[in-house]
Structure 1
């Protein structure tokens, strides 16, 4: 089946940069040294590119679902045409969100898995429960935000700005990049039950924001927006806001 225009922009090109089960653009494959990537490596301490290293660092309460340790790694363009095309209009964004079906994110998993909050029973197999994958849940959340923004703009007869459309597409791309497979319970009874949540002890793998903040402080640009860009007047004062030692 041919890809839609949005899928062409947002989904990986599976024919480019194939190597040992990983996908990288040709320019990445051609590079022998990556100084910036090596420099940022401490920020990636929670990301593992193979099953063995992931298993070595599994948290005692980490859910045991196969996709977490076997998912392929994709090297996608950081500045994709879809996200950074400032002429993108609300119609193309509307097609993107309307084309997403959150029901596709529902999966049936065996009951009684350790460290996973119980969920609704699967009607065709009493030994399984239904969950929504976190990545699909996040895309649906963006879909809901878009639907409300679009409805408000239509009622007010206003045009949604390029900055807003860009921001929504950035968040969409970020969710696709993370492709979080964490199974989330769809049972309202359990989701609001703090005792059940505590007993399940379900976690998800995250990078520590404190590491990113530490990197930011060590490499600060000492910048604070004082309106120079809006007034097209360069202001050296904007570059004098270094954090205290």
Structure 2
């Protein structure tokens, strides 16, 4: 390792990173001491934020399982983050051994960890790409192969669009992705809500600091990401309410994170 690479590594380890803090929230072990310290502070000061991130992860698992039950065996998981079981490819390939899952993320560290995880696993791969440049992402050969297949593809955007500011035009980004998907495909989206209040037990200052790189959006704004796709029941709502899991009675059903799944007409 060069001196410059060592300096870069020390900088990464001494500064908390949103992706690694999120990984801490959902039970992963990919972070550094700074990420764990930031996550522990947020958990103490703003427990509903941690609960919302865990609800997002649970929603993703339910959505992927539901989609495999509909016969979907091709997935593009954009903004996939650090891998944590049950991963998308584990669920998909257990149902369809000949299925395909492409993970995409802008973070090189996420790519390194994901490539290690899927090494030697037929049907699962990782490509580095930025959701803010959907055309370039769609041009990646592994992604292109799925969208050009003519068969339904599930495009997953779980807890990623709330990191995209308005000036990066998230409406255009989602439109480009929707247009590229074959008929019968699905779009899976979750996003921090801007019009569901946080519980009073959460520190306003802690929430501000923890979400300063996020761009919460209203239910109406969130719904526009699905365009003319047909929303799957129960439509758009808080993530814990989407096909609410058995035994989830202790989970707040109205956490401030929206979720939905929609289908492109045949």
User: Same fold by TM (over 0.5)?
Assistant: no
Q: TM-score, normalized by length of structure 2?
A: 0.28
**Higher strand fraction: Structure 1 or Structure 2?**
2
Higher relative contact order, structure no. (Cα contacts within 8 Å, ≥ 6 residues apart): 1
Q: TM-score, normalized by length of structure 1?
A: 0.30
